[in-house]
C-alpha cells in the first residue's frame, strides 16, 4: 500500500532534524500523496515557511488566530481533513504538550482536536529521550494510540551518541505506508507490552578488549518490528549489534549480560518476553581496570571466567503475577536439534522455543535465512526454510492468536 491519493497533515516542530522534513515532503509527493504543513514557532527557526509552502504547493501554517484562514478552514477541519497526522520531528517539548493535552498553538490545537490517527517521529538529545519525564510521556501517548517511528541510535548534532536521532525520511515514509497498508482496524497486539532481547553481549577483559560472538541482531530486530507493526509496545533490549534499531520500539542498549539482565528486570512487567539475544555464557571474573600489557616474554594472561546469569530462565521461573504470560526462548544448536530443543524448553521453563541449526555452513548466524523447529509445549513443528523476517511474522501471528484466545 502506498501513499498515493493520501493527504498528510505534517506537523514540524523545532528541532535540528526539521530539515529532514523537506525530504519527507518530497518522498510523500513522489509516492502520489499531498502534504499540508504546520510549523511550530520553534520550527520556523530551523526551516523557512517559504521553502515548505513552495514545496507543498500550499501555505505552511503556524498561527492559531489567523482569522482569514479560520473563516475558510478552521483548525478542527484542518486536523480532520487529513488521512494521517505526522509529527516529524517530534521534539521532547511537543510530545510533552501532546501527552498533557495542551493546546497553546496551532500544532497542538490540531493534535488535540484530531480524530485522525497520529504518527510521531521523535527527535531529541539522548539524555532528553531517556529522561523519566519523556519516558512517562511516551508511555502515555502509546496508551492514547499514538504511533511512533524511531528514534534511531547514532551520532547526534549535539556531539553525543545514542538513541534520539530522528528516523530517516525513508523510514518515516515506510511507517506511513505500513499505516495505510494495515487499514483502520484495531491491531491485534495493541495494549500489549513485549520485551525482546537481541544481539550479542560484550564481556570486558580490560577497557579495550572483550569476549563476544557474531550475532547480528537480525532476528531480534525483525521480531521487534513485526510486533510493533501489530500494535505492541516493544521494549527492545539490545547488545552491540549490526541491526539494533527496529522502528517504533523503545530501544534500550546494553553491553554485558549483567546489564541485559538488569534492563530486562527494569522493563517488567510485560505481557510477553522473547529472548533472541546470544548472551555470552561466561564473563571474565575480574576485568582489568587498565589495558593488560604484554610482558617481555609475552605470556598470555590467565583469565578466570565466571558464569553469566541465565536471563531467560530467571524470567521464566518468576512467580505468577510477576512472570510474563508468555516466555519465549531461542536455541541455536549444531545437531540433535529436537532432543536439545525439548530439553532446553523444560530446563529453562519457557512456554515456546524456536530452535535452529547453526552448524558451520548453514549461514544462519548473521545470515538472512533460517529454518525453525517450533516447540509449543509438547507439540513440535518444522517451519521449513524461511527468511528471518518470515519467522518474525509467523511468531507474531502465533502471539496474536494466543492473546486473542485462539492458541
Catalytic residues: 158
Specify whether the CB–CB gap between 234 and 248 falls below 8 A: yes
Nearest approach, Cβ of 87 to ligand C5P (angstroms)? Answer: 35
Compute the Cα dihedral for 44, 50, 56, 61 and give only its sign. positive
Instruction: Give the distance from CA 133 to its chain's centroid.
Output: 19
Residues 6+ apart with CB under 8 A from 374: 352, 353, 354, 355, 380, 381, 382, 383
Cβ proximity to ligand C5P, 162 vs 365, nearer residue: 365
Nearest approach, Cβ of 276 to ligand C5P (angstroms)? Answer: 6
Cβ proximity to ligand C5P, 156 vs 278, nearer residue: 278
Nearest approach, Cβ of 229 to ligand C5P (angstroms)? Answer: 22
In angstroms, the CA 187 to CA 181 distance is: 12
Nearest approach, Cβ of 366 to ligand C5P (angstroms)? Answer: 16
Summarize as ranges the residues that interact with ligand C5P (CB under 6 A): 197, 257, 275-277, 279, 308-312, 329-331
From 114, 178, 124, select the one nearest 147 (Cα to Cα).
Answer: 178
Cβ proximity to ligand C5P, 147 vs 329, nearer residue: 329
Return left, alpha or beta for 273; rule: phi > 0 is left, psi -120 to 50 is alpha, else beta: beta
Longest dimension (CA), the chain: 86
Cβ proximity to ligand C5P, 140 vs 212, nearer residue: 212
If one counts every other C-beta atom within 10 angstroms of the C-beta of residue 337, the result is 20
Amino acid at each position: 500500500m502506498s501513499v498515493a491519493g493520501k493527504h498528510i497533515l505534517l506537523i514540524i516542530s523545532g528541532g535540528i532534524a526539521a530539515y529532514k522534513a523537506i525530504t519527507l515532503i518530497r518522498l510523500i509527493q513522489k509516492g502520489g500523496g499531498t502534504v499540508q504543513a504546520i510549523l511550530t514557532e520553534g520550527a520556523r527557526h530551523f526551516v523557512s515557511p517559504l521553502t515548505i509552502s513552495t514545496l507543498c504547493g500550499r501555505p505552511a501554517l503556524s498561527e492559531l488566530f489567523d482569522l482569514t484562514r479560520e473563516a475558510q478552514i478552521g483548525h478542527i477541519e484542518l486536523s480532520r481533513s487529513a488521512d494521517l497526522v505526522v509529527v516529524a520531528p517530534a521534539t521532547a517539548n511537543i510530545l510533552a504538550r501532546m501527552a498533557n493535552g495542551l493546546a497553546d498553538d496551532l500544532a497542538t490545537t490540531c493534535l488535540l482536536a484530531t480524530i485522525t490517527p497520529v504518527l510521531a517521529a521523535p527527535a531529541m538529545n539522548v539524555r532528553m529521550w531517556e529522561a523519566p519525564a519523556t519516558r512517562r510521556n511516551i508511555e502515555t501517548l502509546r496508551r492514547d494510540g499514538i504511533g511512533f517511528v524511531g528514534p534511531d541510535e547514532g551520532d547526534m548534532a549535539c556531539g553525543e551518541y545514542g538513541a534520539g536521532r530522528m528516523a530517516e525520511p525513508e523510514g518515516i515514509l515506510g511507517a506511513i505506508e505500513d499505516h495505510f497498508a494495515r487499514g483502520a482496524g484495531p491491531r491485534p497486539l495493541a495494549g500489549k507490552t513485549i520485551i525482546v532481547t537481541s544481539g550479542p553481549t560484550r564481556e570486558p577483559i580490560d577497557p579495550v578488549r572483550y569476549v563476544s560472538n557474531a550475532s547480528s541482531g537480525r532476528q531480534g530486530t525483525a521480531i521487534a518490528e513485526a510486533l510493533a507493526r501489530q500494535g505492541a509496545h516493544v521494549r527492545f533490549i539490545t547488545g552491540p549489534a549490526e541491526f539494533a534499531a527496529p522502528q517504533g520500539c523503545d530501544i534500550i542498549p546494553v553491553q554485558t549480560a549483567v546489564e541485559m539482565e538488569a534492563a530486562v528486570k527494569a522493563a517488567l512487567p510485560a505481557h510477553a518476553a522473547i529472548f533472541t539475544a546470544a548472551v555470552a555464557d561466561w564473563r571474565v571474573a575480574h576485568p582489568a581496570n587498565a589495558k593488560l600489557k604484554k610482558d617481555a616474554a609475552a605470556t598470555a594472561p590467565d583469565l578466570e571466567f565466571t558464569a553469566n546469569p541465565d536471563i531467560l530462565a530467571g524470567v521464566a521461573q518468576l512467580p505468577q503475577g510477576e512472570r510474563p504470560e508468555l516466555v519465549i526462548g531461542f536455541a541455536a544448536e549444531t545437531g540433535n536439534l529436537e532432543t536439545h530443543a525439548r530439553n532446553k524448553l523444560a530446563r529453562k521453563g519457557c512456554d515456546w522455543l524456536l530452535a535452529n541449526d547453526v552448524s558451520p555452513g548453514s549461514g544462519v548466524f548473521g545470515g538472512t535465512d533460517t529454518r525453525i523447529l517450533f516447540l509449543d509445549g509438547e507439540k513440535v513443528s518444522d517451519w521449513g526454510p524461511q527468511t528471518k523476517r518470515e519467522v518474525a511474522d509467523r511468531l507474531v501471528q502465533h502471539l496474536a492468536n494466543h492473546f486473542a484466545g485462539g492458541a
